[in-house]
Amino acid sequence: MVNLNAVAPGGGREYYVALGLEGSANKLGVGVVKHPVVGKHEGGDFSYDCESQILSNVRDTYITPAGEGFLPRDTARHHKNWCVRLIKQALEEAGIQNAAKDLDVICFTKGPGMGAPLHSVVVAARTCSLLWGVPLVGVNHCVGHIEMGREITKAVDPVVLYVSGGNTQVIAYSEKRYRIFGETLDIAIGNCLDRFARTLRISNYPSPGYNIEQLALNCKKKDTLLELPYTVKGMDLSMSGILAYIDNLAKDLFRDNRKNRQLFDRDSDEAKISVEDLCFALQENLFAMLVEITERAMAHVNSNQVLIVGGVGCNLRLQEMMQQMCQDRANGQVHATDERFCIDNGVMIAHAGLLQYRMGDFVKDLSETVVTQKFRTDEVYVAWRE
């Protein structure tokens, strides 16, 4: 039987407070979350309903010039130089006067992610822990997304589609683990979109994926979809070939290569395809692949709920396509969150870390705080669920 109240809150309080630090990629997020002590949590699986209160959720993104990605060294430098300022801001917004007394736990992203930025953040977490005498919890980034999504949407046991710059996975819970049913065999969907945005040299602000979504909305030929490779392989998918294919199309378009008859009309030599059309086609193709494997996973586990998490989960077209698929299934429901919780943030780390802490799982020695670039979702023992 799961007892989420196994560890009592500090200072005789009737609630737990956690500080969460996230920095596995180019977003540096700091959040503070509060869980009240609720009687029902002592005897059952209510981890999707912790009655969480988000006290603060601040974020700063390392943004590079158009056409450039973010390098580990520079991203780590960004996190190192902003981390303390963001922690101060988050604590102030949350009304935390005395962190040593008011915090139960400090949660940090243990992995997966880029090594150097993860390292910058864990150093800050360790320092705060030693300074305030508050225990640490290392959190799996993917599990952070899943638990935050469940808490916000109250989805009890959904099939999870986790789509971001570094990950593309279809996940379902079974016997204390989040099992991966399907995933990318090469690059993540967000990486595919970001790299195409680099080819187009469109701005990285607020995010390349958002700018592609806006360009796709302006597509004038939505009825005549440009044909792209469709690479679903069983429950997995592959996106690097699609990226190479559409990259070549974009380059031919910019070079005005009229020999390419897919792009230029045979008779008039006029361009048949615009940048907007390319963005639309890429999105439709990739999202159709995601919907297909998600539907198959739903059929496999006999579920009617989908929860979309991760940065790409903000994309309204993806949500719409998933909704269309779910409408065809009995009582099908799609759950998604907005950019505050979809995009990497500190609150999700605080929330998932607090679930771990409440089950008595926290760092006993600093040697356990080593961050790791590889940390698969199914490596985590999910003690807080039946």
Partner 1 sequence: MSVPFASYSSPDLESHVFRVDPTCPRYQTTDGSTTGPSPHVLNAGQIDKDRPSEPRTDDNGQITTLGQLRCHLTGLQDEINDFLTERMEIAKGKKTKLEESREQRIETEIKGLLDGGDDNGNDDNS
Residues in contact with partner 1 by CB under 8 A are 62, 64-65, 67-68, 71, 73-74, 77-78, 81-82
Give the contacts of 159 (CB within 8 A, at least 6 positions apart).
170, 171, 172, 181, 294, 297, 298, 301, 303, 305, 306, 307
**Residues for the chain: how many in total?**
386
Grouping H, G, I as helix, E, B as strand and the rest as coil, residue 271 is strand
Peptide bond preceding 206: is omega within 30 degrees of 0, i.e. cis?
yes
Nearest residue (CB) to partner 1, 115 versus 135 = 115
Do the beta carbons of residue 41 and residue 355 sit within 8 Å? no
Nearest residue (CB) to partner 1, 78 versus 141 = 78
> Is 315 part of any known ligand binding site?
yes
Nearest residue (CB) to partner 1, 165 versus 310 = 165
Nearest residue (CB) to partner 1, 131 versus 299 = 131
Give the DSSP H/E element, type plus range, for residue 240: helix 240-255
| Least distance in angstroms from the C-beta of 342 to partner 1 | 25
> Is 227 part of any known ligand binding site?
no
Encoding tokens for residue 90?
């988050």
> Is 162 part of any known ligand binding site?
yes
Give the contacts of 246 (CB within 8 A, at least 6 positions apart).
196, 228, 278, 281, 282
| Least distance in angstroms from the C-beta of 143 to partner 1 | 29
Nearest residue (CB) to partner 1, 203 versus 333 = 203
> Is 163 part of any known ligand binding site?
yes
Residue keyed to tokens 């006067």:
97
Do the beta carbons of residue 349 and residue 143 sit within 8 Å? no
> Is 141 part of any known ligand binding site?
yes
> Is 194 part of any known ligand binding site?
yes
Long-range contacts of 262-267 (CB under 8 A, 24+ apart): 262/226
- Characterize the bridge pairing of strands 236-237 and 305-309: unpaired
| Least distance in angstroms from the C-beta of 254 to partner 1 | 18
| Least distance in angstroms from the C-beta of 5 to partner 1 | 39
> Is 67 part of any known ligand binding site?
no
Nearest residue (CB) to partner 1, 7 versus 123 = 123
| Least distance in angstroms from the C-beta of 80 to partner 1 | 8
> Is 164 part of any known ligand binding site?
yes
Give the contacts of 313 (CB within 8 A, at least 6 positions apart).
161, 163, 164, 319, 336, 337, 342
End-to-end CA distance of the chain: give it in Å, rounded: 7
| Least distance in angstroms from the C-beta of 71 to partner 1 | 6
| Least distance in angstroms from the C-beta of 101 to partner 1 | 22
Nearest residue (CB) to partner 1, 81 versus 304 = 81
Identify the CA nearest to 286 among candidates 324, 325, 243, 251: 243
> Is 344 part of any known ligand binding site?
yes
Binding residues for substrate, as ranges, are 162-166, 194, 209, 213, 315
Binding residues for a divalent metal cation, as ranges, are 141, 145, 162, 344
Binding residues, as ranges, are 141, 145, 162-166, 194, 209, 213, 315, 344
